[in-house]
Every structure is written in C-alpha cells, then in structure tokens.
Amino acid sequence: MSERLQPGDTAPAFTLPDADGNEISLADHDGRKVIVYFYPAALTPGCTKQACDFTDNLELLAEAGYDVIGVSPDKPEKLARFREKEDLKVTLVGDPSKETMAAYGAFGEKKLYGKTVTGVIRSTVIVDEAGKVEQALYNVKATGHVAKIIKDLGI
C-alpha cells in the first residue's frame, strides 16, 4: 500500500496530460493553493457527482485562492468526453501509469463491497502556496465532499 501523505509533507511533483493532451504540472500553480482530488473513473455516477460539485463551486474556490485539479487513471480522450458530456470546468488530468496516485497515497488496497481490492482510493490533498500538504483526506465520499471541504476551509 502506498504511503499516505501527512500535513507538512512536500506534495509530490507531477506533470500529467489534461483532457486536451496538454501537460499540466503542480509547479504551474506555484504561489496558489491547489486542491488535488483523485477519483476512480470518468463517466461513472459518483465521479460525475464529485466533478460536477467541484465545477459548481469552482468560482467560489478560485476567489478563495484555490485551484482544483482532478486526477484519474483515464486517458485524455476519455477525460475530454467526460468534460464535454457534463460541461465540467475543473481541470482534469490522466494518470494511466498510476504513479502520481501512488505518490499521493491514492492508489492501493481498499475495501469494495466487503472485499479487499487494489485500486484508486478516492482522496483529496490540499496543497498550500509553498507546495506543502495542508490536508490529506482519504476514502472520502463522492457526495457532499466538496461542501465539507468548503466548510472545513472556512470559505
């Protein structure tokens, strides 16, 4: 199982392709706070709900100084279909190798319907302006999670 991040850890650097195939790096957001969230698969009900919640609150989060990046193991073509179908405004990047997910502790063993499986652990990591982990939340729920983040951050 990958190591979970703790507050104060340096957020692992990454460069991943977005829905248009452009390279997106955590370093592109230096000086801004970033909410990096990990989800199992585009175009599935829970992941759609979560992505729509982030999109609906993107302006509020941006005004509070937060950028949002969604990471899944999907390829850019599937991310583009997801973005178009759901009219998503959040930046979506693909990590087919799952290396970035593993570095963030968002890939490994988890319980699914009572069985232990290896897969994406729905997680959210909040990175401060200096690239340090402010919060690391694991096994989060797709529904209501964005509202909880907003409340916890005092936005």
Residues with a known catalytic role:
47
Provide the residue count of the chain.
155
| CB-side neighbour CA atoms (13 Å) of 86 | 25
Tokens 């973005």 locate to: 83
Encoded tokens for 6: 């703790």
Contact 37, 70 (CB under 8 A): yes
Cα–Cα distance measured from residue 8 to residue 45, given in angstroms and rounded to the nearest whole number: 33
At 130, the amino acid letter reads A
Q: Which of 145, 121, 127 is nearest to 14 (CA)?
A: 127
Tokens in use for 105?
């502790």
